[in-house]
Amino acid sequence: MPLKVTCLTDGPVSVIRLFNRRRSLRCKFILPALTEAESPLWRPIKYSLFPPLGLATLAAFLAEDDSAEIVDQHVQTLELNDSPDLVTIQVYITNASRAYHIADHYRRQGVYVILGGLHVTSLPEEAAQHADTIVLGPAEESFLRFLEDFRCGEPQPVYRSSVRTLVGLPPIRCDLIDRKLYLVPNSIVVTRGCPHHCDFCYKDAFFEGGRSYYTQQVDSALAEIERLPGKHLYFLDDHLLGQQRFARELFSGMRGMGRIFQGAATIDSILRGDLIERAAEAGLRSLFVGFESLQTESLIFSNKRQNLGRDYQQAIKRLHDLGIMINGSFVFGLDGDDEGVFKRTVEWAIQNGITTTPGMLFSCRSR
């Protein structure tokens, strides 16, 4: 069914300014925060881990004479008394209310506002009430098209990517990120999506309409790594080992760099071939692993096929033998779970030497 979107709302609405291709733009990229993120009790740890790489990626598509700033409200004060030509806001379900307030404020001032992200893709009609343009799904290709249309004075209300590729992607605007504000400033993403289709994951809905897993060119990924100072890296990819050829060439290129890094992968990729050994040789020291459940019926229920029939203990031993810490992920609330699932899972994790369990996802499925 075609998406019907109404972009005009009651009250003042942004005015589309006409820019020729030679005029520079003043652009502001915003990641809104929850109110609690501004509390000193939470902010130092929970809300200042990683810089907003998505916004820094979009900023790279601007022209050389355009000006840009990124404001991450988790770690910075957001000033609203300015008048940029364009405001781009990344929206999650957790910050949607504040994102809409910010968007409405700028639109009342006549500033053009574009919204994108997971929440916008999930509820486009809601988001469109607070934006002049919304972007659905991954934005690398569609944001570039938007900029071209915007400069010509003909921006569209809705953009969805028609091409899924990272080939030729310009280097992200690291210069717009204040590294000292983050616990893990050396975070990096070299792929998009995941080759699997777990029911509880955002991936299939977000990447609807095109490829849902693709990678950078290896040389580009290695160049991005080289641009990051220091020794430690944190790959924020959903599945760093998801494309074997890419991962193998990436790890080969990283050997000798002296890097230590973290990433995420699945049980089957850990057990398959010698790719995990190549990762360890390149510097992998901690891995986020989606165990999700200890029950076969729950894995089937959640379409976690890559875990079915896999020996968890063997995967754990393989990682420990390589000196790789395990960051275990578990999902609770599946149909096969009972009240004892919490105790059983914790005891199992302790017995098997799982280093950390960062979060527990409670799953529900509408019927």
- Do 41 and 114 fall into the same domain? yes
- Do 84 and 152 fall into the same domain? yes
pLDDT at 14: 42
pLDDT at 45: 66
Q: Does a structural domain hold residue 349?
A: yes
- Do 216 and 316 fall into the same domain? yes
Domain at 245, CATH number: 3.20.20.70
Q: Does a structural domain hold residue 37?
A: yes
Q: Does a structural domain hold residue 234?
A: yes
pLDDT at 17: 44
Give Cα 75 to chain centroid, integer Å. 18
The model's pTM is 0.88
Domain final position from 160, 175, 198: 160
Q: Does a structural domain hold residue 288?
A: yes
- Residue 59 to residues 17, 72, 258, 287, 349, Cα–Cα distance (Å): 20, 14, 30, 30, 41
Q: Is the dihedral of CA 332, 334, 339, 344 positive or negative?
A: negative
Q: Does a structural domain hold residue 10?
A: no
- Do 233 and 305 fall into the same domain? yes
Which of 163, 151, 159, 176 minimizes the C-alpha distance to 55? Answer: 176
- Do 30 and 94 fall into the same domain? yes
Residue 272: give the domain boundaries. Answer: 186-362
pLDDT at 46: 67
In tens digits, the chain (367 residues) has pLDDT values of: 334 333 333 333 343 444 445 579 999 999 999 876 766 666 556 678 899 999 999 999 999 999 999 999 988 999 999 999 999 999 999 899 999 999 999 999 999 999 999 999 999 999 999 999 999 999 999 999 999 999 999 999 999 988 899 998 999 999 999 999 999 999 999 999 999 999 888 898 899 988 999 999 999 999 999 999 999 999 999 999 999 999 999 999 999 999 999 999 999 999 999 999 999 999 999 999 999 999 898 898 889 999 898 999 999 999 999 999 999 999 888 888 889 999 999 999 999 999 876 555 555 554 4
Contact between 55 and 88 under an 8 Å Cβ cutoff? The reply is yes
Q: Does a structural domain hold residue 5?
A: no
pLDDT at 279: 98
Domain final position from 160, 178, 206: 160
Q: Does a structural domain hold residue 2?
A: no
- Do 135 and 239 fall into the same domain? no
